[in-house]
Amino acid sequence: MEREALLSLARKAASNARCPYSHFHVGTVVVAGGKIFAGANIEISSFGLTLCAERSALAAAISAGAGPVTHIAIACVNAPTEAPLQQRMPCGACRQWIADLAPDAVIYVDQVEPTFRVTDLLPFAFLL
């Protein structure tokens, strides 16, 4: 699938977010083994235990036994148009999940032009 098609699916996945605290609807789609897996952020009252959209989608793909992750598309639909790059990027925990579970994936971030690789997002990741 093309970049924009994947980002559109990520924006759609964001509509399933449960975000009563941050009010930021984030959606992610992962392409693994030729299949698409979606995830949305799910916040609970113990904010540190919140599940990010990126981890939700990666967990769905891994749990389904899908092949290697080739693409990841991330969309925060509430981010203002003028928001800087760092306010659109995955958190540190999600970057490490991507490094471990999708080390060769192409990563698209909504409203950000360049395409990323894990080394762009987390240049000194813990790796085995």
For 77-126, write each residue's pLDDT tens digit: 998 888 888 888 999 999 999 999 999 999 999 999 899 999 999 988 88
- Spatial separation of the C-alpha atoms in residues 59 and 61, rounded to whole Å: 5
- Spatial separation of the C-alpha atoms in residues 69 and 47, rounded to whole Å: 28
pLDDT surpassing 80 at residue 1: no
Instruction: Judge whether 72 and 13 are in contact, CB under 8 Å.
Output: no
pLDDT band at 25 (very low <50, low <70, confident <90, very high): very high
Domain extent listing, the chain: 3-121
pTM, 2 dp = 0.95
Residue 82 is among the residues annotated as catalytic for this protein:
no
pLDDT band at 5 (very low <50, low <70, confident <90, very high): very high
What lies within 8 Å, CB to CB, of 1 at 6+ separation is: 31, 36, 71
The whole-number pLDDT of residue 125 equals 87
Calculated CA dihedral for residues 106, 112, 118, 123, nearest 10 degrees? 160
For 40-85, write each residue's pLDDT tens digit: 999 999 988 999 999 999 999 999 999 899 999 999 999 888 888 8
* Domain 3-121 classification at class level: alpha beta
Amino acid, single-letter form, for residue 14: A
- Mean pLDDT on 18-38: 96
> Which is the catalytic residue, given 43, 54, 82, 113?
54
